[in-house]
A = this chain, B = another copy of it.
Amino acid sequence: MKAKEIEILKNNGIDTLYQLILRYVAISDDEWKYCQSKFSSSYFPKKTMLLDQNQVCDKIFFIASGLLRIYFSDERGEEKTFHFCMENTFATDYESFLKNIPSNFSIQALENSVVIIVTHEMLQSLYVTLRDGEKLGRLITEDYFFMLNEKIKAFYMHSPMERYKAMNIQFPGLMQRVPQYYIASYLNISPVHLSRLKYTLKKKNPNG
Contact = CB atoms under 8 A, between A and B. Distances in A.
A82 interface: yes
Contacts of A74: 156-157
A163 to B, nearest CB: 13
Interface of A is mostly: helix
Interface in A87-134: 94-95, 98-99, 104, 127, 132, 134
Contacts of A134: 132, 134-135, 137-138
Instruction: Tell me how many chains of this kind the complex includes.
Output: 2
Contacts of A142: 94, 98, 141
A155 B157 contact: no
Contact of A94 (B75, B80, B145, B152): B145
Range of interface residues on chain A?
Answer: 20 to 34
Interface string A32-45: 00000000000000
The 4 closest A-B pairs by CB, nearest first: A134-B134, A138-B138, A148-B148, A141-B141
